[in-house]
Structure 1
Amino acid sequence: MSTTPLLPSTVRRLEHLLAAEQSSARLPSVAAGLVRDGQLVWSGGCGTTGLDDGTAAQDAQYRVGSISKTFVAAAVLRAAEDGLVDLADPVGRYLTELEDGVGRVTVAQLLGQAGGVQAETDGPWWERTPGGDWDSLRPLLGESAVRHRPGQRFHYSNVGYGVLGELVGRLRGSDWREVVRSQFLEPLGMGRTSMRPQAPAARGLAVHPWADVVLPEPEHDAGAMAPAGQVWSTVADLARWAAVVAGTSDVLQRSSVEAMWEPQSVDDARGAAWSAGYGLGLQLWNAGGRRFAGHSGSMPGFVAMLRVDVETGDGVVALTNSTTGFGDLPTRLLSTFTDAEPHAPRPWVPREVPADVLELVGPWYWGPAPLLVRATAEGFDLAGLNGRGRASRFVRAGEDLWRGLDNYYAGELLRPVRDAAGAVSHLDLASFRLTRTPYDPDADVPGGVDPQGWTTRG
């Protein structure tokens, strides 16, 4: 799909934002890109990557930190697609050496940062020291590693993703790095994404808080903790991954991506309304009534962000080689882009609607509450006619059988009930009766309909 080039005025505004942030936040370098319709539509960079060869910031590799977790999570979801793992199972079913402690936490809870597993390892600061192998991490995963009742609350755990990396490798009889490479990096053409830096790569730096001097940060193989933050990438490659997070790539089934968008836990700071949560391997944000998905990342010397609007698929990626990072620059870049360059409306065209959907469209009533069924490309939507009432999307689950995808009726079944002539008399939805008129006396309404009908007296 071709994408119209950005207006020169938009490009100037984006470049100014990037340069202003590099200067005000004292970033050695910063690079960013914007994604629409699965394509990188703008990229820019400024500052010094710490290289002497003149490599532009947007062409260099940066360490993406915890964005690495999204690759591991996607590999787990692919394994679930292939029937190799049930997300509801305790991880100890597959890593049998974990008999207690972390072993009793479910795969989904680990993915969703709801397992209660300790945040960091017990040893030295793992982000700044070489890591050991699985055998060195495994003894730390007993009962003492579970700091909260699994499923009780959001508790971010790097350790949990070390476990998930081992799970991915065990399920595939390989190593998680090789699984990510073969399932995602190669098919997507992400040739500049790797587990260790490959030239040209930015040098990770710490900036002194009170003086304009920098200090090189260490880089190493994190071993068994590598799934929590080892990956290196570029703006162009990370833009390809943003298309996966937006659900516009075929390396993951759309249903798997939508499952990743569903909140598993919320970051419920005491006394504050929550605006952030965690899905199956993705951070989630509610901002201005819109849902965003992606992940931030930080490791010594680097900060990164990947964020997409799940409704439009527009996304932003941003990278810097500074330990202290760039604040809300990614969200400002994305909002500047979408405000200046809104999506063109899609032209309306007629399309085929199956006969068994066409006979369901129009008003229905849940008791006296008016509802509306409207045909969609996948099935139909059910929503309150006056903006109130329970809403859900429905897709075909069999002959004269439909399954809800979201909201109250997610997973629930809707059956059109037919009369002797084959016409639909009412809808059976999770035991409720939806009728063409309020409390239709000719339909099978549980509890019956008063024979006096609608009157002025109660």
Structure 2
Amino acid sequence: MTTTQDGLLPGTRRALLHRIAVAQSEGRAPSLAAAVVRDGRTVWHGARTSVDGHGPDEDTQYRIGSITKTFTAVLVLRLRDEGLLDLRDPLEKHLPGTGAGGATVADLLAHTGGLAAETPPPWWERTPGTMRPELADVLGEQPLVHPVGRRFHYSNPGYTLLGALVEELRGAPWEEVLRREVLDPLGLHRTSGQPRAPHAGGWAVHPWADVLLPEPAEDLGLMAPAGQLWSTTGDLARFAAFLGRGDDRVLSAASLREMRTPAAPPEAFDVAAGYAYCLGLEIRPADGRLLVGHSGSLPGFLASLAFSPEDDVAAVVLANCTSGPQLTAVCGDLVGIVAEAEPRIPEPWRPLREADPSVLELAGPWYWGTQAFALRLSADGLLALEPLSGNGRRSRFRPDADGGWTGLEGYYAGERLRAVRRADGSVSHLDLGSFVLTRQPYDETAPVPGGVDPRGWRGIG
């Protein structure tokens, strides 16, 4: 079964269908459903085989496992944006007595809190949450397995703590807060903590025989913020569009950019793979592009959501099997099919409406020592500094009220750029975090640290 919307070429739609058909067949999934988003709009749904005798559609629920963590992270960032917490706050400040209170809120979001990956036995994903009624039951007697803040170590209990933090500061259950602050505003009415018909059943597929075994669907209790949710390709497509663009009713585009900025020191094998963890989101490379999103799994279900900010394309894939199809790879392939077959049309270039002469005169070449840089003024009102050739530090800068500029990314993120003027008002040099950039290499008229040899440039002979 497949349903399509206007907006994709027939060849692209067939390539998408072919990809999920191969994934379902080779991965031996009882059913598999997918969706693609482009320019913030769902442009394709597809599915293979059936759920309860009917082909799954964009309203059929599957369990999404750890994609739940991204929803929890959105709630935490909302608390930060409202001034109720700082990401640098130790957990103990807001939620005392856990035994893991030395970890900061950011540590927990980025899995650098030093916490264990899992709860004490038994296996929490197949155990009723009522067996762990207290946080101490989730964390165990020794919550920390690594020093706080030193390394990335994925931790499901860490997101239980974040859910408890949300409940403490909101004075309401995690799922109630999620419904009120995220799901309802975004129109995600088919996302819930408990399954609602129509929904897929979870299955284990025998590794050596084409037979099935039903998996239990447990209520995870306190572990819910780490993996409880059920959702649909339709809802997750809308959520992916939100993650890429923001919605001021829920979370701004600026805060979402922060969420997808790497925040955890990666392990050596992650460096080689290009993988990084952010604040409730993952980044991984796929065929030359960087994909942002999250994967999920619980017994009986697999899930993946990914989007390419550069291409403005997202994909969601859900399946009802414990293992089998590699949904992260399938998600990346769906994004790549659309991005390559129908590349994004760039916005038309338009000039600035007006330019401040004092800013315009800063545009052009500058030298840090002998290295040449270009400073450009763009139509969005930002300054961009980049090397004229080869590799080098680069950043965009936003204007500040005092006439200076603040770096937005890279080495100069958060650093200040200002034009230093002479008594007659002319520009002497640029000061960038104490670096002096001049109009000529080692300009003798500028205060270059260490001075400039008065004999000037010369040959050797």
**What TM-score, normalized to structure 2?**
0.93
Contact kept, 8 Å, 1:357 with 1:379, in 2: the verdict is no
- CA distance in structure 1 between the aligned counterparts of 2:330 and 2:308, rounded to whole angstroms: 16
Note if 1:210 corresponds to 2:208.
yes
**How far apart are 1:289 and its partner, in Å?**
4.5
> Does the C-alpha gap of structure 1 residues 142 and 319 become closer, same or farther in structure 2, counting only changes over 3 Å?
closer
Q: Which amino acid aligns with 2:81?
A: E
Whether the 8 Å contact between 1:364 and 1:370 is mirrored in structure 2 is yes
Pairing partner for 2:454 from 451, 454, 457: 451
Q: Would you say the 8 A contact 1:427–1:433 is kept in 2? A: yes
Mark the CA change 1:143 to 1:109 in structure 2 (over 3 Å): closer, same or farther: farther
Query: Map of 1:141-290 to 2, 5 A cutoff?
Result: 141=139, 144-250=142-248, 251-269=250-268, 273-290=272-289
The alpha-carbon distance between structure 1 residues 179 and 354, as it changes in their structure 2 partners (threshold 3 A), is: farther
Q: Does 1:430 align with 2:433?
A: yes
What is residue 15 of structure 1 aligned with on the other side? 17
CA distance in 2, matches of 1:452, 1:373: 29
Task: Determine the C-alpha separation between the residues in 2 that align with 1:303 and 1:142.
Answer: 27
2:186 is paired with a residue whose SS is: coil
Deviation of 1:24 after TM superposition, in Å, equals 1.6
Contact 1:302–1:325, Cα closer than 8 Å, also in 2? no
Residue of structure 2 equivalent to 1:343: 344
Q: Which runs of 5+ in 2 are unaligned?
A: none
**Contact 2:311–2:339 (CA under 8 A) maintained in structure 1:** no
Q: Give the 3 Å change call, closer, same or farther, for CA 255–121 of structure 1 in structure 2.
A: same
Deviation at 1:434, TM superposition (A): 0.8
> How far 1:270 sits from its partner (Å)?
5.2
Cα separation, 2, equivalents of 1:287 and 1:23: 22
Question: Aligned partners of 2:255 and 2:223: how far apart in 1?
Answer: 25
For residue 384 of structure 2, the aligned residue among 372, 381, 390 is 381
Deviation at 1:140, TM superposition (A): 5.0
Stretch of structure 1 that moved more, 30-39 or 55-64: 55-64
- Is contact 1:246-1:310 (8 Å) kept? yes
CA distance in 2, matches of 1:212, 1:134: 36
1:450 to 1:269, Cα distance in 2 relative to 1, 3 A: closer
2:374 alignment partner in structure 1: 372
- Distance of 1:220 and 1:36 partners within structure 2: 35
Check the 8 A contact 1:47/1:57 in 2, yes or no.
no
Deviation for aligned residue 1:74 = 0.8
Task: Measure, in 2, the Cα distance between the counterparts of 1:393 and 1:160.
Answer: 34
The alpha carbon displacement at 1:18 in A equals 1.5
Pair 1:89 & 2:92 matched: no
* Structure 1 Cα separation of the partners of residues 270 and 431 of structure 2: 42
- Aligned in 2, Cα 1:332/1:384: closer, same or farther, shift over 3 Å? same
Is contact 1:29-1:57 (8 Å) kept? no
Give the secondary-structure state (helix, strand or coil) at the position aligned to 2:89.
coil
Change (3 A) 1:388 1:213: closer
Cα gap change, 1:214 to 1:353, in 2 (>3 Å): farther
Offset of 1:426 from its aligned partner?
1.1
Show the 5 A alignment for 1:19-168.
19-49=21-51, 51-52=52-53, 54=54, 56-98=56-98, 101-132=99-130, 135-138=133-136, 140-141=138-139, 144-168=142-166
* Equivalent residues of 2:305, 2:317 under 8 A apart: yes
Q: CA 1:274/1:266 → structure 2, altered by over 3 Å: closer, same or farther?
A: farther
Q: Give the direction of change, closer, same or farther, for the CA distance of 1:147–1:343 in structure 2 (3 Å limit).
A: same
- In 1, Cα distance between equivalents of 2:265 and 2:354: 39
The Cα of 1:42 is off from its aligned counterpart by 0.8
The Cα offsets for residues 330-379 of structure 1, whole Å up to 9 and x where unpaired, read as 22222112111111232222222541432221111111111111123141
| CA distance 1:201–1:265, change in 2 (3 Å) | same
- Among 401, 406, 412, the alignment partner of 1:403 is 406
Distance, in Å, in 2 between the alignment partners of 1:271 and 1:185 is 32
Question: Counterpart of 1:299?
Answer: 298
- 2:381 and 2:251 map into 1 onto residues whose CA distance is 18
Aligned mates of 1:36, 1:248 — CA distance in 2: 15
Q: Tell me by how many angstroms 1:258 deviates.
A: 1.6
Residue 418 (structure 1) aligned with residue 421 (structure 2): yes
Distance 1:201 1:369, change over 3 A: same
Q: Call closer, same or farther: CA 1:273–1:215 in 2, change over 3 Å.
A: same
1:143 Cα deviation from its structure 2 partner:
6.6
- Say which is worse superposed, 428-437 or 61-70, in terms of deviation: 428-437
Separation of aligned partners in 1, 2:373 and 2:47: 51
RMSD of aligned alpha carbons: 2.0
Other structure's SS at 2:340 match: helix
Q: How many angstroms does 1:248 deviate by?
A: 4.2
Deviates more, 1:152-161 or 1:238-247: 238-247
Distance 1:325 1:241, change over 3 A: farther
Structure 1 residue ranges, 4+ long, deviating more than 6 angstroms after superposition: none
- Matched residue SS, 1:243: helix
Q: Distance in 2 between matches of 1:228 and 1:271?
A: 22
Contact preservation (8 Å) 1:353, 1:375: no
Deviation at 1:269, TM superposition (A): 4.7
Contact 2:170 2:177 in 1 (8 A): yes
Change (3 A) 1:11 1:177: same
Percent of residue pairs bearing the same amino acid type:
50
Q: Structure 1 unaligned runs (5+)?
A: none
Distance in 2 of aligned mates of 1:370 and 1:236: 49
- Residue identity matched to 1:357: V
Q: Which whole-Å deviations, capped at 9, do the CAs of 1:370-398 have from their partners, x for residues lacking one? A: 11111231411111111332111111222
Bigger mean CA offset, 266-275 vs 226-235: 266-275
Q: TM-score, normalising length from structure 1?
A: 0.94
1:11 is paired with a residue of what secondary structure?
helix
Distance in 2, matches of 1:385 and 1:257, equals 31
Contact 2:48/2:55 (CA < 8 Å) preserved in 1?
no
Q: Is the 8 A contact 1:206 1:214 kept in 2?
A: yes
